[in-house]
Structure 1
Amino acid sequence: MGVGATMQSLAEILSSDSGSLVLGLAALVAIAAPFIDRYFIRRRRLTFRVLYNSKIGLSPIDLHDGENGSAQAAPQLEQVARLLDRMSIVVIRVHNTGSFDIAPGDFEIPLSFTFGSRIVWDARVSDATDDGLRQHVRDGLEFFTRETPQKPVEAVKLSRVRALLPKRLAGLAAAEAPPEAPEWHGVRFARLSLKRKEKFKLVVVLRESDGYEGEISKEIDHHARLAAGRIKDDRKQRRFGWPVITTAVGVLLTGALLATLLVSWSRPGDSAQCATGKLSVEGSSAFVPIIDSIAAEYHGQCDGAAITTRATGSVTGVRALAPVDAAGKDELAVLSDGRSGEAGPDLEAKAVAVVVYTLVVNRGAGVDNLTIQQVKDIFSGRVRNWDQLRPGPSVPIGIVGRGQESGTRKTFEQKVLGGAEDRLTSDSCRKPERDPAAATTRCERGTTAEVLTEVAAVPGAIGYADVPAAKAAAARNQLGIVQLDGHYPDVTTIDAGYRFWTVEYLYTKGVPSNGSVLKRFLDYLASPTARAELQDAGYTPCVAKDGLLDPLCTRPDI
């Protein structure tokens, strides 16, 4: 099926009851997903935001201005400037933005922050929701250094950090490092608990490590894992994150569902209008299988209707309908591939679907593309072996055709050959036993299925069938589908020049009576359910969704 037919089929399905259910479920899932994630899957939410990350900015002189800065400053000022020039402050806000309290046991990995090459000198907790939270966070603060093989992780409390702060300042003032001055690179919140909506700020004083050159580093990393929750950097939260996108998609799907329902409510119902009685649908062996499937769907909704199908051939079917009297006119309908020359003025034709046909060959033929002229040469006997059309081994050509009652044969003769097929020369399809001197081996079979079976079984055989049946046989690796003049057999290539196609008609004797099974079934053929069934089978419905005929079904030559 081409892209256009696929999209049309999708539109039909979405407008059906099952499609509305799919749209409704998709909309529900899209809208509910963020709420399920927030309240059930990752119900705990902890966010943090770096509010400030910069130098202290209190240097009394400019160390980097050699002419007017430190060169003219008093030694004491220069020493203070060197101390402040490499110090920075970071302010981080931590906030429980979820709908559940967070307990210490909820952290699989405690929340911690590291600051690149900078060393922690001091820290404090401020702007807490209440004093109790401030003290709780302060008591749980831990300061640690990077772990190396020579230096395992060491964690100390805030009191230890502040106890060493005077020694650090004194050492810098004296231009010498204090003895045993440890370096802490990170801050960790041990045993942190936050009630919903609680928040606080962490203020950290940092200094670049000795030997660092260049501008103050602003690197900040966090590390944590929260069971059944998530921890997010508030600065990196996108304006259009996945919850916003899924909710928007859900709203759009809901709108599509409402529009679909409004359209459905504004037109006649898709459910079958049931009637009681019997109906026989006969004719085209190519199209009877799909009508049989649609009839089974109709019967599933209307068990009082008895619909039977029989593949008799298009011509035979129309001939059987012609003598039907008024009493039985609503009990027989006939399928014909294309308009029938057998139909009299008292027969009514209803266009059902576009039927595309294809030539099929046995795998041993070794071809997948023929020109119209080559097909004419084959069926006239001018070309008798496949080695006349392609390089390779000699493989005699055998023709498997349909009988005079076939609408498919009529379409093939009109659209491809431009004349009648040659005479019957074989019953076996393997040799011309009817006429040993005949130029071609040509047999006939009564149904599409029989043609496909013979083509698959006879080496070098060629025949023709409707595309859906041919594709099903090709999928079983029994035969090959042939392009005509470079056009693949599909409804989308018709306007490009593909010729082997027609319209399937359903003939009735006059206008069906209101309330008859025939009338109800004809109406059902235009329903979204029947149209979807036709499309799934590989046919293009003549009645479109808007109730108008497809342009292909209105052409005068079909």
Structure 2
Amino acid sequence: MGVGATMQSLAEILSSDSGSLVLGLAALVAMAAPFVDRYFIRRRRLSFRVLYNSKIGLSPIDLHDGENGSAQADPQLERTARLLSRMSVVVIRIHNTGGFDIAPDDFEIPLSFTFGRRIVWDARVSDATDDGLRQHVCDGLEFFTRETPQRPVEGVKLSRVRALLPKRLAGLAASEAPPEAPEWHGVRFARLSLRRKEKFKLVVVLREPDGHDGEISKEIGHHARLAAGRIKDDRKQRRFGWPVITTAIGVLLTGALLATLIVSWSRPGDTAQCATGKLAVEGSSAFVPIMASIAAEYHGQCDGAAITTRATGSVSGVRALAPVGATGKDELAVLSDGRSGEAGPDLAAKAVAVVVYSLVVNRAAGVDRLTTQQVRDIFSGRVRNWDQLRPGPPVPIGIVGRGQESGTRKTFEQKVLGGAEDRLTSDSCRRPERDPAAATTRCERGTTAEVLTEVAAVPGAIGYADVPAAKAAAARDQQVAVVQLDGHYPDVTTVDAGYRFWTVEYLYTKGVPSNGSVLKRFLDYLASPAARAELQDAGYTPCVAKDGLLDPLCTRPDS
């Protein structure tokens, strides 16, 4: 088909009644493909790049250059050069380039590097994001002789490799190898975890095997498999990969769609999705921020709709909606973390998104994972100091909870504690000044943001928050750490594996909204691609999928 025929066919599609739908679907598929791949199919991204791979020192041959050879051939220098002639250094940078943290359990096959026949003599970790990461990587380094992805072999730790180094050097100086010296040909990262944007460099010192002649080998291989993720070698990245091509096609189709919609919107009667009036959305302090963002996007398309948002707490929101009369029923909607026990039969609930929560601690606590029983022991007062749960210095535990109006607290009590939180004993979160004899030091804060601020400020504090807010706080303040629960990282992908601290966000209305009201149009907008994209970008899973059906998590009895 020639260019003219192609343009004619495109014009016919655009002029048809289904033109906008065809273009919209095509653009959505083209532009969503790389994002679905990145954030759903292969969400986690780990990249590496070999920065240096060359020999150490001088070749003995290079010490002679003809006429000046005798002047430069210093015996000591030549002997040193010969010692180093078969030695090489490899430097590899490893970087979490994705938008998600990578936990050890995310690796189906741990990341490892092999160096052909070259033998590993020493290794070190440098240029890590922080000292904690450097120590974590060093502790997990393993060295092995031969390995395949199907048959991993047992490795030895860095301390063993370095303990043998003096013997190797002594043997090298004496021009002989140590008797029965182990030979390691690869390095493996056991239990590697990287938060997003964290990186480090691995430096490996290698030597060619005895009997090798010729140039230094440059061979490097890698093995790894990342569940729901991708590991890439930065040296092999193509300038125009399929994500760039599909996105470009999507942009072109989107341009054609916008042109069609502009013409369509200019016709009378085509703004039925908009309404004029006011609407207040109140309730969950955890979910109000993203709802405010979606409301602002809706107002950008429908400037006659005035939507305000206010964080009052899930329970308080539902209580405020219950007495609303028929004349104001379309002017108030409330957000609740999970189904509300305060809702009567005249209130209607719409599932909006899956909300996953996380326990958070101040880094002085010295833990990054807890069991449900340990959490219950902490909140009941049976465990009052972190040294009861891990080796190290004593750090008193301060509990930062939410008030009784909080849906997040309700979810925490139901899903994790299996009962009510202890009473309020502290205002400062540092000591139980309200009751010095109390078993716990427990304070309360009114919003998720205030809980995270307090956890960052109080050494040894523990609290809870929705995962998007918790991750943002951890990225913003190094004193806040996200905690695994029962070995599961807090993420929607671990819910089916047993992660328990999650719920569904509901939007409650007083009965069914009237047709043409701002509330009705806004509820419809929450199921639109634009609103779903906002939810996903903020770290939530929309309940209404692209096909218009409810996500299975939003229909589960325990949601």
TM-score category (smaller protein): 0.5 to 0.7
In the alignment, is the contact (CA less than 8 A) between 1:354 and 1:503 conserved in 2? yes
Partner residue, 2:556: 555
Shift of 1:226: 46
Partner residue, 2:413: 413
Which TM-score applies when normalising by structure 1?
0.55
Counterparts in 2 of 1:340 and 1:109: CA distance versus 1, 3 Å? closer
In the alignment, is the contact (CA less than 8 A) between 2:121 and 2:165 conserved in 1? yes
**Separation in 1, partners of 2:167, 2:91:** 24
In the alignment, is the contact (CA less than 8 A) between 1:50 and 1:90 conserved in 2? yes
Shift of 1:557: 2.0
Q: How many residues align?
A: 558
Shift of 1:179: 67
Shift of 1:428: 1.0
Q: Which moved more, 1:264-273 or 1:96-105?
A: 96-105
Shift of 1:85: 48
In the alignment, is the contact (CA less than 8 A) between 2:57 and 2:81 conserved in 1? no
Q: Which moved more, 1:260-269 or 1:160-169?
A: 160-169
Task: Describe the SS at the equivalent of 1:62.
Answer: helix
- Cα shift readout 1:208-245 (whole Å, capped 9, x = no counterpart): 99999999999999999999999999999999999999
Partner residue, 1:171: 171
In the alignment, is the contact (CA less than 8 A) between 1:63 and 1:70 conserved in 2? no
In the alignment, is the contact (CA less than 8 A) between 1:31 and 1:246 conserved in 2? yes
**Separation in 2, partners of 1:368, 1:203:** 27
**Separation in 1, partners of 2:433, 2:105:** 91
In the alignment, is the contact (CA less than 8 A) between 1:12 and 1:531 conserved in 2? no
**Separation in 2, partners of 1:384, 1:42:** 41
Shift of 1:556: 1.4
In the alignment, is the contact (CA less than 8 A) between 2:362 and 2:458 conserved in 1? yes
**Separation in 2, partners of 1:153, 1:382:** 42
- Cα shift readout 1:434-467 (whole Å, capped 9, x = no counterpart): 0011111000001000000000000000000000
- Cα shift readout 1:2-33 (whole Å, capped 9, x = no counterpart): 99999999999999999999999999999999
Aligned-residue sequence identity (percent) comes to 92
**Separation in 2, partners of 1:108, 1:346:** 50
In the alignment, is the contact (CA less than 8 A) between 1:61 and 1:81 conserved in 2? no
**Separation in 1, partners of 2:219, 2:121:** 16
- Cα shift readout 1:43-102 (whole Å, capped 9, x = no counterpart): 999999999999999999999999999999999999999999999999999999999999
Which structure ranks higher in relative contact order (CA pairs < 8 Å, sequence separation ≥ 6)? 1
Partner residue, 2:39: 39
**Separation in 1, partners of 2:150, 2:556:** 88
**Separation in 2, partners of 1:161, 1:362:** 35
In the alignment, is the contact (CA less than 8 A) between 1:318 and 1:340 conserved in 2? yes
- Cα shift readout 1:253-285 (whole Å, capped 9, x = no counterpart): 999999999999999999881100000000000
Partner residue, 1:483: 484
Give the root-mean-square deviation of aligned CA atoms: 24.3
**Separation in 2, partners of 1:438, 1:187:** 51
Q: Which moved more, 1:539-548 or 1:150-159?
A: 150-159
Q: Which moved more, 1:239-248 or 1:493-502?
A: 239-248
Task: Describe the SS at the equivalent of 2:68.
Answer: coil
- Cα shift readout 1:115-172 (whole Å, capped 9, x = no counterpart): 9999999999999999999999999999999999999999999999999999999999
Shift of 1:34: 23
Partner residue, 2:322: 322
Counterparts in 2 of 1:201 and 1:549: CA distance versus 1, 3 Å? closer
Task: Describe the SS at the equivalent of 2:63.
Answer: coil
Shift of 1:311: 0.3
Q: Which moved more, 1:23-32 or 1:269-278?
A: 23-32
In the alignment, is the contact (CA less than 8 A) between 2:276 and 2:518 conserved in 1? yes
Task: Describe the SS at the equivalent of 2:18.
Answer: helix
Query: Structure 2, unaligned stretches of length 5 or more?
Result: none
Which TM-score applies when normalising by structure 2?
0.55
Counterparts in 2 of 1:290 and 1:25: CA distance versus 1, 3 Å? closer
In the alignment, is the contact (CA less than 8 A) between 1:61 and 1:70 conserved in 2? no
Counterparts in 2 of 1:411 and 1:231: CA distance versus 1, 3 Å? closer
Q: Which moved more, 1:57-66 or 1:276-285?
A: 57-66
- Cα shift readout 1:331-363 (whole Å, capped 9, x = no counterpart): 000000000000000000000000000000001
In the alignment, is the contact (CA less than 8 A) between 2:149 and 2:223 conserved in 1? no
**Separation in 2, partners of 1:144, 1:527:** 53
Partner residue, 1:540: 541
Query: Structure 1, unaligned stretches of length 5 or more?
Result: none
Counterparts in 2 of 1:160 and 1:24: CA distance versus 1, 3 Å? same
**Separation in 1, partners of 2:398, 2:105:** 81
Q: Which moved more, 1:247-256 or 1:339-348?
A: 247-256
**Separation in 2, partners of 1:448, 1:504:** 15
In the alignment, is the contact (CA less than 8 A) between 2:64 and 2:72 conserved in 1? no
In the alignment, is the contact (CA less than 8 A) between 1:15 and 1:528 conserved in 2? no
Shift of 1:470: 0.5
Partner residue, 2:341: 341
Counterparts in 2 of 1:7 and 1:511: CA distance versus 1, 3 Å? farther
Residues 275-424 of structure 1 aligned to structure 2 (within 5 Å): 275-424=275-424
Shift of 1:419: 0.4
Q: Which 4+ residue blocks in structure 1 deviate beyond 6 angstroms?
A: 1-272
In the alignment, is the contact (CA less than 8 A) between 1:362 and 1:480 conserved in 2? yes
In the alignment, is the contact (CA less than 8 A) between 2:149 and 2:224 conserved in 1? no
In the alignment, is the contact (CA less than 8 A) between 1:272 and 1:298 conserved in 2? no
**Separation in 2, partners of 1:142, 1:422:** 45
- Cα shift readout 1:381-429 (whole Å, capped 9, x = no counterpart): 0000001111111100000000000000000000000000011100111
Shift of 1:330: 0.3
Task: Describe the SS at the equivalent of 2:192.
Answer: coil
In the alignment, is the contact (CA less than 8 A) between 1:384 and 1:396 conserved in 2? yes
